Amino acid sequence: MEYQELIEKAVEVSKNSYSPYSKFAVGACLLTDNGHVYSGCNFENSSFGLTICAERNAVGSAIAAGDKKIKAIAIYSPNSEYCYPCGACRQVLNEFKSENGLDVITTGKSGLKVTTLDELLPEGFNL
C-alpha cells in the first residue's frame, strides 16, 4: 500500500472523530509488516484523561486482530498541518514498531511529509 492511500484512509476516518470538547479531529491509518491496514480516530471523554488518541485507537485494532509489528502510520487532522503523534502515542508506537523501523506520514499544504519514529522519539524506552 502506498503512503498516499494511508493518508486518504486517515482523512476518511478522521470524519468519525468524537471530539466535542477540543474540536480537534484526528484520523490515523497504519500498515503492519503483514500488509494489513488498521484505522482509528480520536474519541474524547468529559473526564479528559480518558480520551483516546487516533494513533492508539488504530494500534489497539491491530493488536486485537493479532498484528503487533507496525511499519508505517499516517496521521491527519483537518485542524492542523502536519499532525504528529503526541508523546504517549510515540511511546506506544515504539513498543510495536517493525524491526526495520516505523515511518510516520502526515500531510499539509506542501504534500506528504515522511519521518521516522526514531527521529520523533530518539532513545525510546524499552524494557
pLDDT, tens digit (0-9, with 9 covering 90-100), for 77-113:
999 999 999 999 999 999 999 999 999 999 988 899 9
- Residue 120's pLDDT band (boundaries 50, 70, 90)? very high
Examine the pLDDT at 42 and tell me if it is beyond 80.
yes
Examine the pLDDT at 1 and tell me if it is beyond 80.
no
Q: Contact, 16 vs 39, CB < 8 A?
A: no
Examine the pLDDT at 126 and tell me if it is beyond 80.
yes
Q: Where are the domains of the chain?
A: 3-120
- Give the pLDDT score at 109: 85
Average pLDDT, the chain: 96
Q: How many residues does the chain have?
A: 127
Choose, from 55, 81, 95, 123, the residue flagged as catalytic. Answer: 55
pTM: 0.95
Number of helices and strands in the chain (H, E):
4, 5
**Catalytic residue flag (residue 95):** no
Examine the pLDDT at 75 and tell me if it is beyond 80.
yes
Alpha helices in 45-84 (DSSP H): 54-64
Q: Contact, 74 vs 30, CB < 8 A?
A: yes
In angstroms, the CA 45 to CA 20 distance is: 9
Query: Taking the C-alpha atoms of 58, 99, 89 and 107 in order, what is their torsion angle to the nearest 10 degrees?
Result: -70
Looking at the DSSP bridge assignments, the partners of residue 41 are 27
- Give the pLDDT score at 127: 86
The mean pLDDT value for 40-66 works out to 97
CATH superfamily for 3-120 is Cytidine Deaminase, domain 2 (3.40.140.10)
